[in-house]
């Protein structure tokens, strides 16, 4: 019996050990599967991360492309070749150029239309208005004449929307030099200009027949001048801010004159009043008496002094 019992125990032990061995591979398989799942998950996570990175890269690329496109829109130009020598360019701000080009620049004859409606038609040189041209600013002015480095310079005609016209010299976009200014139904001035103003020596002829010849400052009679009235009277003297101011002489057509002082264009006092003969005699006496060579005319010949001493006048 003991032997049988021992044999049974041994068999049970052998069987139990086999069962354990079969169980262990399953656990190992489970562990392997778990490890494989973990590895797969890590790979998937890595792929997801890679995809996210790729997506980010795509998004970044799209942003960069968008920026490029935007930059291109801001700086790009729409060109259209009209013929071999003429090109039409539409700029992003709405300006349009149509004309000749050289080395990518406006050069030669062309028309440039600004987005505000202004138009320049004429010659260009290296992207600048240079040569003869015409600028039209609707309801403001029309300029036709010489251009230099993008500015009105040289001889030209500037017509205002109200009908006033300036013809003459320009310097750096302003009326400067000699010119003629016409204000319809008012006056015509011809003379010197400075920085867009009537300035210097000139002549104004008024529609009523009056005429002023003399000095001007900022568009007004200022300095020494002669104002001749339509009726023949004439004032010679000082002007200030467009009015008679200071000493002067008013000559009348009847031969008389008044010498005195004016203030704010009004006569305030008379120092002397003469006729033409008295004026001539007085001027002759003053001329000789004040001349440094009068001493050469001896007293004996004083009544003939105009014949003898005329060379001293």
Q: Give pLDDT, residue 211.
A: 98
Does residue 117 surpass a pLDDT of 70? yes
Residue 192, beta-bridge partner list:
178
Over residues 21-33, the pLDDT tens digits come to 444 444 344 344 4
pLDDT tens digits along 60-116: 333 332 332 333 333 455 666 656 678 999 999 999 999 999 998 999 999 999 999
In DSSP notation, 96-107 reads EEEEEEETTEEE
| Domain residue spans of the chain | 79-184
For residue 26, the model assigns a pLDDT of 41
**pLDDT, average across residues 156-167:** 98
Q: What angle do CA 216, 248, 246 make, to 5 degrees?
A: 70
Per-residue pLDDT band at 287 (split at 50, 70, 90) = very low
CA-to-CA dists, residue 119 to 67, 132, 142, angstroms: 33, 14, 10
Closest CA to 214 of 232, 230, 201: 201
pLDDT at 46 over 50: no
Has residue 54 got a pLDDT over 50?
A: no
Average pLDDT score, the chain: 76
- Give the count of alpha carbons within 13 A of 240, CB side only: 10
Residues in contact with 10: Cβ distance below 8 Å, sequence separation at least 6, in sequence order: none
Question: What pTM does this model have?
Answer: 0.62
Q: What pLDDT does residue 236 have?
A: 98
Look up tokens 């138009």; give the residue.
119
Band the pLDDT of 273: cuts 50, 70, 90: low
Is the per-residue pLDDT at 142 higher than 60? yes
* Beta-ladder partners of 301: none
> What's the whole-number mean pLDDT along residues 184-188?
97
Q: What is the CATH code of the structural domain delimited by 79-184?
A: 2.20.110.10
More confident residue, 281 or 130: 130
């Amino acid at each position: 019996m003991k032997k049988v019992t021992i044999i049974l125990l041994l068999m049970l032990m052998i069987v139990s050990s086999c069962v354990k061995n079969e169980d262990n591979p399953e656990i190992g398989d489970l562990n392997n599967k778990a490890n494989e799942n973990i590895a797969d998950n890590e790979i998937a996570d890595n792929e997801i991360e890679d995809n996210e990175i790729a997506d980010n890269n795509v998004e970044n690329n799209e942003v960069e492309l968008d920026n490029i496109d935007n930059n291109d829109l801001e700086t790009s130009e729409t060109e259209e070749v009209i013929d071999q020598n003429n090109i039409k360019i539409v700029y992003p701000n709405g300006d349009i150029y149509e004309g000749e080009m050289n080395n990518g620049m406006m050069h030669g004859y062309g028309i440039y239309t600004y987005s505000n409606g202004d138009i320049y038609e004429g010659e260009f040189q290296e992207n600048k208005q240079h040569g003869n041209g015409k600028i039209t600013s609707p309801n403001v002015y029309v300029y036709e004449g010489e251009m230099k480095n993008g500015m009105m310079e040289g001889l030209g005609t500037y017509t205002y929307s109200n009908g006033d016209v300036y013809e003459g010299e320009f310097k750096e976009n302003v009326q400067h030099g000699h010119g003629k200014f016409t204000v319809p139904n008012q006056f015509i001035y011809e003379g010197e200009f400075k920085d867009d103003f009537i300035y210097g020596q000139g002549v104004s002829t008024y529609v009523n027949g009056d005429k002023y010849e003399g000095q001007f400052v900022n568009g007004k009679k200022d300095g020494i001048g002669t104002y001749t009235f339509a009726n023949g009277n004439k004032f010679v003297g000082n002007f200030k801010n467009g009015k008679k101011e200071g000493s002067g002489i008013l000559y009348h057509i009847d031969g008389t004159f008044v010498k005195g002082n004016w203030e704010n264009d009004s006569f305030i006092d008379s120092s002397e009043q003469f006729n033409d003969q008295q004026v001539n005699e007085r001027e002759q006496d003053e001329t000789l008496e004040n001349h440094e060579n009068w001493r050469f005319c001896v007293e004996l010949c004083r009544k003939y002094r105009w014949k003898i001493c005329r060379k001293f006048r």
